[in-house]
Structure 1
């Protein structure tokens, strides 16, 4: 059974990132993006 992605994929490893408050957190790399980053 495949998990539903919780957030955007990490640009470093492709893992689904968690959206915590105003940050995207990769389970392997930690915080990758925060509100100040423009990644759209």
Structure 2
């Protein structure tokens, strides 16, 4: 579970650095917030 979370964060960081897609960055932020809550 922890490994899957780390992979998700890495994927999220990769997407967040892709300034071409605000939507994906927003989705990552929402997912990250949900992960912090869980």
TM-score normalised over the length of structure 1: 0.22
| Structure with more contact order per residue of length (Cα contacts < 8 Å, sep ≥ 6) | 2
Which structure dedicates a bigger proportion of its chain to helix?
Answer: 2
Q: TM (normalized to structure 2)?
A: 0.23
